[in-house]
Amino acid sequence: MEKTLVLIKPDAIERGMIGRIISRFEDKGLTIVGFKMLSAHAALLEEHYSHLKDKPFFPRIKEFMTTTPIIAMCVAGLDAVDVVRSLCGVTNSRQAAPGTIRGDWGMSIQSNLVHASDSKETAEVEIDRFFEKDEIFEYKRMLENIIYAPDER
């Protein structure tokens, strides 16, 4: 099954939304195959957000992402990268569609509750960035036979 990386950001941690955010992914039928809390240090964030390093708001994101620990999750499912991005909604929470995590619970561009990998290639790199190989669990849930049709798996 395809895997992707989700981060639960400090605004969501502050607001006590860890459980509700995890539930969105579980309710959809995705499988959590890796899960940890960590403090994101500067070097990790500089690597993770390297595509934004020239943006004026880059220092602010780094500061924001270290205000509390964050949760890293590896989530698996068919087309997990696209499915998880859709569940999160667009970057600007004010423009994110109702029904998405950002659309339902966010009002900010920066403090938009979650991070989700934007492609399969990025997901592989990001999962390796946040997890050791033995922290990702390959297991099959019996419920997959209900969540997917046999010819989809």
Least Å distance between CB 143 and ligand ADP? Answer: 29
68 binds ligand ADP (CB under 6 A): no
Minimum CB distance to ligand ADP smaller for 10 or for 34: 10
The Cα–Cα gap between 115 and 5 comes to: 8
Active site residue 41: no
Residues in CB range of 43: below 8 A, 6 or more apart: none
The Cα–Cα gap between 65 and 21 comes to: 17
2 binds ligand ADP (CB under 6 A): no
Positions of E strands within 9-140: 31-38, 70-77, 114-116
The Cα–Cα gap between 96 and 86 comes to: 10
Task: Give the position of tokens 């004026």.
Answer: 56
Segment contacting ligand ADP by CB under 6 A, of 25-33, 39-47, 106-114, 136-144: 106-114
61 binds ligand ADP (CB under 6 A): yes
Segment contacting ligand ADP by CB under 6 A, of 39-47, 75-83, 109-117, 128-136: 109-117
Give how many residues touch ligand ADP by CB under 6 A: 9
**φ, ψ at 39 (rounded to 5°):** -95, 120
Return residues touching ligand ADP (CB under 6 A): 52, 57, 61, 91, 109-110, 112, 115, 118
